[in-house]
Amino acid sequence: MNRLERFNSSEGLMGHLAVIGLGAMGRAIARNLVEAGHDVVVWNRSPGPVAALEALGATPAATLADALATPVVLSVLSDDAAVADLFLDSGALASATPGAIHANLATVSPELAARAARAHRDHGLEYVSAPVFGRVPVAEAGALTVMAAGSRTALTALEPYFAVIGNRTWRMGDDPAVANVSKILGNYLVASAIQALSEAVAVGESAGLDPQQLVDLLTSTLFPGPVYSGYGSMIASRSYLPAGFTTTLGAKDVHLALDTASSLGIDLPLGEVLGDVFARALAAGHADQDWASVADLMPRRA
């Protein structure tokens, strides 16, 4: 009997789950769970990441349905379309284990979260929104910040896994959509900081300041913390590859913020500016660069 068969047998195993979506974040999350001693099933549309994790001790699932046969599923996908395609429009939820918990770590719209919660409930499943703060190196270190919303029972069951992938889990309530709102607003503020840094560095450099010295000054006094220091250094040095978070994803999250605010009757004047900035950055060829690359839209000294 192989490990996947044992997962579905009556004997069961403590701490077994599936990770679906093995991009850079998903790979780091799955690896940390394997190394922490959990029995992890992995599934991805392309086989490369699956093979690498199998070598570390994960169990490959032949199909999405096999992955969904575990009692806990963590999915790490890119956007609304990917989540809807895999889980909501494919009929895959019908193959999930009754009572299973699906924690969606993607940054998706509140509308998609509400739809997903209804669909899971209709199939006798628990749905938890659990987006995270942290780039790939943070995920690799198991130091993500998890914002989780769903039933109290489901959140408690997920605690051992969240404790492996993150350094703190914030329980945001029982409505999954609110966790996604918190993540969207966090990314909106990061986008705002990137644009503010871009403008400050462009003016300072044009006036004759050394851009890195300016960033060091500002981040060691007025604006300490990883957002200003990390993105400030990238902007000062014009270093946007490899991308920790692409301009394409940044544009998506800015629009999620605009759409969320609009649904509540709230205008975001700065958000409109950011929407234009990211649209111009995409048109200028920065789609696959780090979203700090929007700084190159500002005039810079040669």
Residues with catalytic function: 183
DSSP for the chain, written as a single string? --HHHHHTSSS--TTEEEEE--SHHHHHHHHHHHHTT-EEEEE-SSSHHHHHHHHHT-EE-SSHHHHTTSSEEEE--SSHHHHIIIIISSSGGGGSPTT-EEEE-S---HHHHHHHHHHHHHTT-EEEE--EE--HHHHHTT-EEEEEES-HHHHHHHHHHHHHHEEEEEEEES-HHHHHHHHHHHHHHHHHHHHHHHHHHHHHHHTT--HHHHHHHHHHTTS-SHHHHHHHHHHHHT---S-SSBHHHHHHHHHHHHHHHHHTT---HHHHHHHHHHHHHHHTT-TTSBGGGGGGGS----
